[in-house]
Amino acid sequence: MSTHPARTFFRWFFRCVRFASLIAVASAVEICAAQSKPATPNPAPDVLILSNGDTLHGKFVSETGGKVTFHSDPLGDVTLAWDKIKELHVSGKFGVLSQTVATGKKKQTVQFPTGTFDVEANTLTVHTESAATPELVSVAKAQYIMDSTALDKAINHEPGFFQAWNGAATAGATIVSATENQFTFNGAVTLVRTVPTVNWLATRNRTIFGFNEAYGKITQPAYKYPATYPSTGFIQVPAVTTKSSILHVGAERDQYFSPRVYALGLVAFDHSYSQDLQLQQIYGGGIGWTARKTPKSELDLKGTAQFEEQTFIPGTGGINLSLIGSTFAANYVLHLKLATYTQSLAYIPAYNHPKAYSAAEVDSLAFPLYKNFSFSVGTLDSYLANVPFIGTASTSPSKPNSFQFTMGLTYAIKSKY
């Protein structure tokens, strides 16, 4: 016997109401249980008393090289020197590293006190859990005060080879399909790994990797046209392909033995189809000096002694050479408010073949667009003194100078280490 539709509907309706009631009761019980738990009290705010008597309440952030950063909700982050601070009372636990502790030796584990602290009369009192009595440090010798985990990671640990790489990747392309088909591509990747990974510690070593490629190809298909009267035949024009390719791959390792001076080793590989250069290999080592280093700019000067091997494309008339020479280079970076400018200059003399010298200049300007993306424009100008000038029956003379102008989209690579 079939069930009446109305009875079936009401039975289904009351089941839904009962199910909803059970959910509501369970939710009410959960809310009551949560409200019955005692609320976790907010930690007391840190207190900073200025030398003129004004008092700020908020949160201590860090101290680096005598500069204290304190966050106050009305003012935001405030940075003050120790001579502007009369008292400072911090309830959070921080690591304190004084100037008397050596941080340059990687194999030596650096110990530093960790705990809450107070500052009065130019003396920092650290209340550690492990020590029975507080540890006293003069504020003049308090080099770094910050989160103890971050401080220990920066001082006592070194990232693995595949960690802590920062840099940028740039790509741009042009495609034309018409009577002639044209394709051009330019791409670059620059990676830098600096140890320690923080800029407030003296650099121990730095590894640099660079790749740059500009490739172009123009293809004109074969065609034929009628010969002049009275011939009735056709003249066949073969397909023509024109290529350009300029490639650079290089790596450098810097080992610092002072905050500004370092020893370096480098390798570089260059190919330039437009200059008939099949491969140029450079292996060398030398000395570098960071002549300028500020939060906004950095200038590095380098000089090396090196072995260089030049191989030209067969049939172009180039003379393969083994050279003993040097690289004298300058690298400059400037961080502006709306752009970042980089410039690299290099002069490469050859001592056993003085006429086989070369030079290069690379400039780029990047404008931020969105998050890690930016728009970049750049130039690459290279000069190779000993290119094949004469040419052969099938090749035209090569020019010693090669100039590129590139545009592309750049993605900033940022390490999470």
pLDDT tens digits for range 139-177: 988 889 998 888 888 888 888 888 999 999 999 988 888
| CA separation for the pair 348, 33 (Å, rounded) | 76
Question: CATH homologous superfamily for 165-413?
Answer: monomeric porin ompg (2.40.160.40)
| CA separation for the pair 310, 211 (Å, rounded) | 19
CB 302 within 8 A of CB 287: yes
Q: Domains of the chain: which residue ranges?
A: 46-156, 165-413
Query: If you average pLDDT over every residue of the chain, what do you get?
Result: 85
| Secondary structure (3-state) at 344 | strand
Q: Which residues in 59-69 are b (16+ Cβ under 10 Å) and which e? A: bbbbbbeeebb
Specify the higher pLDDT residue, 171 or 235. Answer: 171
**pLDDT at residue 9 tops 50:** no
Task: Please name the residue that has the structure tokens 């009875």.
Answer: 7
Regarding pTM above 0.95, the answer is: no
CB 115 within 8 A of CB 129: yes
User: Which residue blocks in 37-164 are alpha helix, DSSP H?
Assistant: 148-156
51 contact partners, CB below 8 Å, separation of at least 6: 83, 84, 85, 86
Across-strand partners of 115?
A: 94, 128
What is the tens place of the pLDDT at every residue in 299-348?
A: 999 999 999 999 998 887 788 999 999 999 999 999 998 899 999 999 99
Nearest to residue 119, comparing CAs of 138, 105, 100? 138
| CA separation for the pair 62, 199 (Å, rounded) | 14
